[in-house]
Structure 1
């Protein structure tokens, strides 16, 4: 009797399946240190307990995207081990800060299926919830992934594509209990720009670039326990290259956005995202942002800002798509998110 697991293929998913993912993980200061070593992450709220306390929190939480990577990594053996590509995200909300000492686990539900026209693969839609040791949901998001078929003769399932919101309304964003930016220290944060200084439609070139190193992206995928074959096994792709984990690009671009958006402190919503083109080691990642919307919140001194974050491997700044409506080949990531910023 086989004791190993080859992972799920497209025909193994059924609409409504609920998958409890192994293995729970207790996060600590080590995750923070490694996250800040992998990326030039400098947002003050995630770097200093004292800064976080001055903003009304009990201590500095784990970076929002570090929490996302842990929750995401739990799902990989069950959702995307045999993936061709992770295609997109929607309806993501951070519901509770994650602190060192918290234990995270993940549960996913299959909410959509669509076989591709070539009959060799299909798209699986899942809603994933990350929970802490108290059973509180800390993160909730939808993603869809293209997965290979094992049996090409397996019957195609009925096509079900979930109806997903393109934008999370600002009133549905969850502000952490106690968050208060009334006495926000702009000097310690690194930039003077506040919520009122940004205009809808404004674009910001984040100037800096970081070259992706093979060792660093492999360390990242291992850190997040992301076992997808396309990231680990160079023989899995015809070109013999290991694909950079898309979350690695998200975190790199977010860290680069500090230059110009140092006060966009907490990510609270993920409206949508696309990994527009594959990334491989040796490429230099740059980033720019566009202000899409702004909203007030009920928390003292706290505003919400909706941002498009674009990661590129060069090319003209602020160019996203060609005349045909397709992403330009130099665009790696197009991410639409809500962040919290002092008013």
Structure 2
């Protein structure tokens, strides 16, 4: 090797991810790489989570309610699209904090290819000066350029340089709930000939009362193998989920989406007819989850609405995941703080027969 070659500085070709000071309001990021959904995604999702909802489980059932070809679970699309954003948005995250204004525009079927773009809509440095919160709005489109889903989220990201000046704080105003009239109903969906026996429960929209709480009873213990497999499946590369050196306590943080899918699957018991997720209004990862935690779930009915689709109603739910079973189904203490053991507080619209 020549002396000139030895003295030349090495150019890095690897991606260390963006830090808080790398983001700018209005910045638009095209995320690599497009990802094609396959039947393998459906099979692995069912192997990882105890999901039993009839539409994603049965092609015949899906066709009977007007959905053919056979769609996969909405959260498969969400995880895939979300995973695309990680290398650019949250590779250096402390934690993903919450979601808002998430709408599912199209059923996703095997063969669809999803690509994701994000726009930075807010920035706020934390008081410790070592990290800040980044707000983004992300949109996933399919291979035909059609909008498949969109959502806003906020994530706490490390700073590269604690002395870097703080940007002007911008915290976006996000809707607390997607209005029922803004829900996107899949084309052709009709529950007029809905088979409650095949679905697993007889409960229709009018059987649920606002304020009612439903204990989903079952629990699943988290393992490192399963949550890392799931996170790899979605091509989510966040260091905290895999690398024991990424956190001071040496523990792998469970991807928050893994807890969402687990809670959604557990909610089948009592909400088997909440077949489709139409929107996620808001969500908070209240506390971290780790291997060894046993996750339970309960739901509270927040609202109901009719839709223009034949026989289709909308049921708004608060889905809560807890570390250990909470038979009292307590969300907050008398002081207004989240109760001990609450992991996830998710507000979502589902589509049910009426």
TM-based fold match above 0.5: yes
Q: How does 1:267-278 map to 2 (within 5 A)?
A: 267-278=277-288
Aligned equivalent of 2:352: 341
Report the equivalent of 1:324.
335
**Alignment of 1:226 onto 2:205:** no
Does 2:243 align with 1:243?
no
Aligned equivalents of 1:115 and 1:159: distance in 2?
Answer: 7
Equivalent position of 2:68 in the other structure: 58
Residue 5 of structure 1: how far off its partner (Å)? 1.2
Can you list the C-alpha shifts for 1:28-60, whole angstroms capped at 9, x where unaligned?
A: 100000000000010000011110110011132
1:270-309 to structure 2, matched below 5 A, reads 270-309=280-319
* Residue 115 (structure 1) aligns with: 125
Cα distance in structure 1, aligned partners of 2:336 and 2:158: 27
Determine if contact 1:311/1:332 at 8 Å carries over to the other structure.
yes
Residue 4 (structure 2) aligns with:
none
- Deviations along 1:263-299, one digit per CA (max 9) or x if unpaired, are 0000011100000110000111000000000000000
Unaligned stretches of 5+ residues in structure 1: none
TM-score (norm 2): 0.96
Query: Do the aligned partners of 2:293 and 2:324 also contact (CA within 8 Å) in 1?
Result: no
- Post-superposition Cα deviations, 1:209-230, rounded to whole Å, max 9, x if no partner, equal 0111111001001001110011
Q: Secondary structure at the match of 1:207?
A: coil
1:172-231 Cα deviation digits (max 9, x unpaired): 000000000000000000111111100111000001001111110010010011100110
Superposed structure 1 runs of 4+ greater than 3 Å apart: none
The alignment yields a C-alpha RMSD, in angstroms, of 0.7
In structure 2, the gaps of 5 or more residues are 1-10
Kept after mapping to 2: 8 A contact 1:71/1:130:
yes
| Contact 1:115 1:156 (C-alpha < 8 Å) held by counterparts | yes
Mark the structure with the bigger radius of gyration: 2
1:61-84: CA deviation from partner (whole Å, max 9, x where unpaired): 010011100000000000000000
Name the TM-score, length of structure 1 as normaliser. 0.99
1:23-34 alignment runs, 5 A limit: 23-34=33-44
Is 1:78 equivalent to 2:88 in the alignment? yes
